[in-house]
Structure 1
Amino acid sequence: MFKTIKNAWGIPELRKKIIFTLIIIVVFRFGAVIPVPFLDSTALKGIMDSSAVSGTALGYLDMLSGGAFSNATLFAMSVTPYINSSIIMQLLAVAIPPLERMVKDGGEEGRKKMSAITRYVAVILGLIQGLAYYFYLRNSSYGSTPIVKYTQGGAGIFTAFVIVLVFTAGTALMMWMGEQINQNGVGNGISILLFAGIVSRIPSIIGHLANYIQMAWKDGSANGQYFFLVPLWVIVFLALIWVIVFMNDAERRIPVQYAKRVVGRKQYGGQSSHIPIKVGIGGVMPIIFASSILSIPTTIRFFIGNKDMGSFWNAFFTAFSNTGWVYCVLYVILILAFAYFYTAIQYNPVEMANNLRQSNGTIPGIRPGKPTSDFIGKVLSKITLIGAVFLAVIALLPIVFANATGMSNLSMGGTSIIILVGVALETVKQLESQMMMRHYKGFLD
């Protein structure tokens, strides 16, 4: 990877793109420290650092924003409204025939219209999300310190307007920066910004690990286990990266044989090929869907507060905390379900079988038509199961490790690691493809 980046830096055009991407990332990090007016960042950070936020939608948002939300900054909403908008439009494109025709048959113009609709929906979602979090912040306080200042009378209306407007503007600005990276930089813009936000948490994680070592050094009798647990955490982290890299490149290749046909004195076709099906078809999306749904009960409990609601509801919310066994079981079930759902959206075995028949291609040993679609469906089902189990293990391992060791303040879950590795690999592949284009010798050379 480092060799690829070094070689890309030696090409002037790619060097400009890399520098442009780095400049956008620097601007993003500056925006992540610009405070939102009328908010007490110290009080908000005190709430966000509490263990009550762990496993809630607030903690999830803070993770994706690289800590910008806990510091009440311009980019506190991160790109989550745009991600939600993209998911919604992708699902609607499958469910609504006009949208599906616009994407499939509209060509470049259709894709531009879908992108424009996605941006508008993202701004609307950002406005709704910013308004919802304003009401939460207005009703919250850290001790006796209110988070929102100047909320009385007419000044309160102006305060609400400014805070919600800044949150929404931050989301729109991040979308624009992501599009600029797509046009003039390297990699997928939104993914690069997510990557930068998650990477910014690494220094704080290193600081927590150093604190554990310091605790063990000062009081070895009570905290001596950290001499073993901290290196174990590093080993597990590196092992997860290796497994994700391995599974990211893993694929099942369905062999395809094309029929020979003779036209005049020339013979066409007859070559062998394959259909590649990646093991991790849905990527990180099943984990994002599952964690978003399971964060709802904990978020409701967080908004209600620590009230005594009876033994049943207390037991219910305890079971749905990220330390409960019910949470872990449902987490695995939802990841499996969403993995199959995402595969059903991406692949249509009947359509794939029809395309093979039209191009005179067959799978060796499988008859064309329905037997071919059934075979492809069985392969997809098996591959999806393997990929879903892999995602479930990656998602649960950090939770199990934190519950077993008590090291719960290391905010690097399975979702974060998959995003980091996936974005890094995808960006390196784009650099390699662009270098190959610039070193390719044409027919006139």
Structure 2
Amino acid sequence: MFEKLRIIFSIPELRKKCLLTLGLLAVYRIGFHIPLPMVATNLGESGGAANEFFEKVAVFAASDLRQATIFGLGIMPYISASIIFQLLGSVYKPLEELKKEGEAGRKKLNEYTRYLTVAICLVQSYMYLKFMLMSGGSTGYGNINPNFLNADSTGLFWGWQVVAVLVMTCGTVFLMWLGEQIDEYGIGNGISLLIMAGILAQMPKALYILVQNMKPELTGLSRGQTGVETLILLIVLFVLVVFGVVFITLGQRKIPTQSAKFTRGRRVYGGSRQHLPLRINQAGVMPIIFASSLLMIPGMLFAVLAGWFESGGGMFKALNLLSLTMQDQASYFFNLFYVVLIFFFCYFWTAITFNPKEMSDNLRDSGTFIPGYRPGKRTTDYLEKVMVRITYVGAAFLAVVAIVPTIVYGSLGVDFAIASFYGGTGLLIAVSVAFDLVQKIDSHLVMRNYRGLLEGAGGGVSPVV
């Protein structure tokens, strides 16, 4: 491995790209330690339910919302804008036609995405600032430096509110620009690398919590106690989960295809046998993101409804019980709803991103067909049937990976910051981005007649289903 790293940094062009990427990622991490001028303390220091909420959202959003910094919103507003336009591109005809215009259409969509990102940032930063103002302290302004309050200390001066919203919005726009610079001058997908850096930056804290709570003795796998056998179990479980994520992420269903023969002059072209790769996990990490977002709503909604009734009444007890159940990630009903939503969004997102009719038309136009199936409707039906079957496998895999952290968190009682690295959004993103980065580096090495970093996975060989 050290020899391969030496080869990477011995190539001037590749060395320049890698150092530039590392430098821009360092700038990204430095910005997370620059607080807003009007903030007096970290939000995580307030403790209670707010701290737990910020911790869970921080893992989900690949940013630390417990600290009101210039990069507090992270890159998620841009991701949200991209998802919105991707969904609209499937149902809104002008955007669908714009996607087919090639490079010019892609640039126009990127421009619209940037505009929507700014709008989302303005709304999110204002709501985030209001939530921060209303938390902590007897007056509700415990997190704000007293020097920035009004003369009568009734709230933050409106001018400073505008400054805070603009600073956080500009921070996200700057991160968007950093990602584009990595795409153009660095190596790898810039936005994905920023998200991955935000996820991995939480690993030292998780390791510190694990070491701090560890006891050099046997505890019998007692809940809340990290003994020797608990540590061994966590290590083995982490290796198995990563192996499963890698296997399914690279897994493909290869459909055999054959091109038609045609004669041009005295030469016969075509007739070659190839394959059409269909990913098992076609939806990627999006089902977990959607399911996690929706599961935050019922618990908060039931808690608000319970506040409308008297504390001793039957409706209050029933709504409060539902609220606690939907907020308890270790409960049976929470995980059941989680799995159901993941299956639903797997098929929903696959139906949006995978168009069997369009793929069938492309095969027919290129003179390629699937043996045993006529071009047109029969090929479309066959592709749709195959995708439905492999999506079921991908959805089951995502459901297992998504509930592993809740099982570890609920059964072993380890900190949620540690359990979050055993599955869910963070692990899937980290593995996918790591393989994409390895393949980008391999493309530079292969052009110079060097061997790839990873002969199996890095070279593009995927398990076949």
TM-score (ref. length: structure 1): 0.90
Q: Please give the alpha-carbon distance, in whole angstroms, between the structure 2 residues aligned to 1:418 and 1:179.
A: 22
User: Would the alpha carbon gap of residues 264 and 177 (structure 1) be closer, same or farther in structure 2, given more than 3 Å must change?
Assistant: closer
Which residue in 2 is equivalent to 1:77?
A: 73
Which residue in 2 is equivalent to 1:430?
A: 440
Matches within 5 A, 1:4-403: 5-42=5-42, 44-47=43-46, 50=48, 53-54=51-52, 56=53, 58-64=54-60, 68-105=64-101, 107-141=102-136, 146-149=142-145, 150-152=148-150, 156-214=157-215, 226-299=227-300, 308=311, 310-321=316-327, 322-403=329-410
SS at match of 1:270: coil
User: Would the alpha carbon gap of residues 2 and 196 (structure 1) be closer, same or farther in structure 2, given more than 3 Å must change?
Assistant: farther
User: Would the alpha carbon gap of residues 66 and 287 (structure 1) be closer, same or farther in structure 2, given more than 3 Å must change?
Assistant: closer
Q: Please give the alpha-carbon distance, in whole angstroms, between the structure 1 residues aligned to 2:306 and 2:21.
A: 42
Q: Using the TM superposition, give the Cα deviation of residue 250 of structure 1 relative to its aligned residue in structure 2, in angstroms.
A: 0.7
Contact 1:28 1:193 in 2 (8 A): yes
Contact 1:217 1:224 in 2 (8 A): no
Q: Please give the alpha-carbon distance, in whole angstroms, between the structure 2 residues aligned to 1:337 and 1:221.
A: 36
Q: Using the TM superposition, give the Cα deviation of residue 276 of structure 1 relative to its aligned residue in structure 2, in angstroms.
A: 0.4
Question: Structure 2: which 5+ runs fail to align?
Answer: 451-465
Q: Please give the alpha-carbon distance, in whole angstroms, between the structure 1 residues aligned to 2:168 and 2:306.
A: 25
Q: Using the TM superposition, give the Cα deviation of residue 132 of structure 1 relative to its aligned residue in structure 2, in angstroms.
A: 0.7
- Structure 1: which amino acid aligns with 2:320? N
Range that drifts further, 169-178 or 135-144: 135-144
After superposition, give the CA deviation of every residue in 1:314-365 in whole Å (9 maximum; x if it has no partner): 0121121123322211111111111111211222112222222223322122
After superposition, give the CA deviation of every residue in 1:162-186 in whole Å (9 maximum; x if it has no partner): 2222221211111111111111111
Q: Using the TM superposition, give the Cα deviation of residue 28 of structure 1 relative to its aligned residue in structure 2, in angstroms.
A: 1.0
Contact 1:33 1:68 in 2 (8 A): no
Contact 1:134 1:164 in 2 (8 A): yes
User: Would the alpha carbon gap of residues 128 and 16 (structure 1) be closer, same or farther in structure 2, given more than 3 Å must change?
Assistant: same
Contact 2:73 2:172 in 1 (8 A): yes
Q: Please give the alpha-carbon distance, in whole angstroms, between the structure 1 residues aligned to 2:306 and 2:163.
A: 27
SS at match of 2:165: helix
Contact 1:151 1:157 in 2 (8 A): no
SS at match of 2:269: strand
Which residue in 2 is equivalent to 1:421?
A: 431
Q: Using the TM superposition, give the Cα deviation of residue 438 of structure 1 relative to its aligned residue in structure 2, in angstroms.
A: 4.5
Contact 2:225 2:414 in 1 (8 A): no
SS at match of 2:330: coil
SS at match of 2:253: strand
Q: Please give the alpha-carbon distance, in whole angstroms, between the structure 1 residues aligned to 2:219 and 2:268.
A: 80
Contact 2:221 2:229 in 1 (8 A): no
Q: Please give the alpha-carbon distance, in whole angstroms, between the structure 2 residues aligned to 1:398 and 1:9.
A: 37
Which residue in 1 is equivalent to 2:463?
A: none
After superposition, give the CA deviation of every residue in 1:219-245 in whole Å (9 maximum; x if it has no partner): 999976622112211221121111111
Report how many residues are paired: 435
Q: Please give the alpha-carbon distance, in whole angstroms, between the structure 2 residues aligned to 1:392 and 1:177.
A: 33
User: Would the alpha carbon gap of residues 395 and 220 (structure 1) be closer, same or farther in structure 2, given more than 3 Å must change?
Assistant: closer
User: Would the alpha carbon gap of residues 262 and 71 (structure 1) be closer, same or farther in structure 2, given more than 3 Å must change?
Assistant: same
After superposition, give the CA deviation of every residue in 1:28-78 in whole Å (9 maximum; x if it has no partner): 111010111212324x1124x545554x4x444322565632122211111
Q: Please give the alpha-carbon distance, in whole angstroms, between the structure 1 residues aligned to 2:338 and 2:378.
A: 34
- Structure 2: which amino acid aligns with 1:195? M
**Identity of aligned pairs, percent?**
37
Contact 2:125 2:165 in 1 (8 A): yes
Q: Please give the alpha-carbon distance, in whole angstroms, between the structure 2 residues aligned to 1:230 and 1:143.
A: 42
Question: Structure 1: which 5+ runs fail to align?
Answer: 441-445
User: Would the alpha carbon gap of residues 370 and 158 (structure 1) be closer, same or farther in structure 2, given more than 3 Å must change?
Assistant: same
Q: Please give the alpha-carbon distance, in whole angstroms, between the structure 1 residues aligned to 2:48 and 2:100.
A: 47
User: Would the alpha carbon gap of residues 426 and 26 (structure 1) be closer, same or farther in structure 2, given more than 3 Å must change?
Assistant: same
Contact 2:89 2:95 in 1 (8 A): yes
Q: Please give the alpha-carbon distance, in whole angstroms, between the structure 2 residues aligned to 1:90 and 1:282.
A: 13
Contact 1:65 1:78 in 2 (8 A): yes
Contact 1:36 1:72 in 2 (8 A): yes
User: Would the alpha carbon gap of residues 36 and 215 (structure 1) be closer, same or farther in structure 2, given more than 3 Å must change?
Assistant: farther
Contact 2:70 2:168 in 1 (8 A): yes
After superposition, give the CA deviation of every residue in 1:145-167 in whole Å (9 maximum; x if it has no partner): 71234443685212311222222
After superposition, give the CA deviation of every residue in 1:13-32 in whole Å (9 maximum; x if it has no partner): 01001000111111111101
User: Would the alpha carbon gap of residues 36 and 218 (structure 1) be closer, same or farther in structure 2, given more than 3 Å must change?
Assistant: farther
Which residue in 2 is equivalent to 1:443?
A: none
Q: Please give the alpha-carbon distance, in whole angstroms, between the structure 1 residues aligned to 2:61 and 2:322.
A: 29
